[in-house]
Amino acid sequence: MPRLITLASGQWADLPLEVLCKKLNEMGFDGVELACWGDHFDIDKAIESDAYIREKRALLEKYNLKVFAINAALSSQCICDDPIDSRHKNILPAHIWGDGDPEGVRQRAAEDLKKAAYAAKRFGVDVVIGFTGSSIWGKFYSFPPVSAEEIEAGYADFAKRFLPILDVYKKEGIRFALEVHPTEMAYDLVTTERTLKAINYHPSFCFNFDPSHLIHQMIDPVNFIDQFGDRIVHVHVKDARLQINGRNSILGSHLEFGDPRRGWEFTSPGRGDLKLDRMIRALNRVGYQGPLSIEWEDIGMDREWGARDALEFVRKNNFSPSTAAFDSAFSKK
């Protein structure tokens, strides 16, 4: 049976959830991945109020939408980040930012991610998507020289901060799904393996697979599926396009998205370099049966037109694995 197709609500959090749900129902989506910002999903209210849970569930049922995950990426980014600065203030609710003291922000963000596990369980989903942040991302280019000890200290800091969180997730039966992404502890295959090793391969640390963040690093997303498929518990369908022309690079050149001088750009699914057919085949090989969540980001396209176009594209490529060899009909048996 083809996987259900949902929409990640984070890029639509300017809309009230009911307005978005009505649109998704009309477009033909099967469900929605709820962002923990805007009015889409409030972690504290979900923990404190049975009525809040009932209201959210009733709203989803009204528009015939399923939900498989909540997304706590914004606050979780702050758990390991160093420095903590105005960029973080711009994405955080006031109660996590507080007085802006960096370590206080990190601690409150960690507590928020723990609470997300409790909220998810009460809401009836078992996946929380998020980030880790990183104290060493800014050292990815080793000049001034960065010692191996400094990098190891970064992974040790990550483990110290995340193992207590992951123990909560294990106790509650919830899986934390890191979106492997530049600025996180894991941003490619090598750092993903190192991140897992740092936490002794904790069973509650899983992945939200998003191919777009690999594409613009010139990494084949299928390699990630083949290596870490047993930990993929959620999938984003998001595309990216390389625009390397001899004058730019994959580093982005400090240019805003949409600037044609950039070396790469996020695009609507099917409009970039993602080979969705190969990705689906790889997901079939590893037995992934969860949703395909369209995370729509394309600054050059109207988002409602793009969401419909993306849904049509993903539906056409959302095939199940074969149950028999194609040449079995030739057998004399």
Q: What is the per-residue pLDDT across 239-293, written as a single tens digit (0 to 9) for each?
A: 999 999 999 999 999 999 999 999 999 999 999 999 999 999 999 999 999 999 9
5-247+266-322 maps to CATH 3.30.300.90 = no
Closest CA to 154 of 129, 187, 179: 187
Helix (H, G, I), strand (E, B) or coil at 69: coil
Return the bridge partners of 213, or none: none
pLDDT in tens, 136-193: 999 999 999 999 999 999 999 999 999 999 999 999 999 999 999 999 999 999 999 9
> Residue range 220-225: average pLDDT?
98
Q: Which two tokens stand for residue 199?
A: 């936490």
Determine the angle formed by the axes of helices 148-172 and 189-198, rounding to 10 degrees.
Answer: 70
pLDDT at position 2 is 80
Helix, strand, or coil (residue 58): helix
> Whole-model pTM?
0.96
Q: In which region does residue 258 sit, left (phi positive, over 0), alpha (psi from -120 to 50) or beta (all else)? A: left
Checking if the pLDDT of 333 tops 80, the result is no
Domains of the chain, residue spans = 5-247+266-322
pLDDT score of 330: 60
* 26-35 CB burial, b ≥16 within 10 A, e <16: eeebbbbbbb
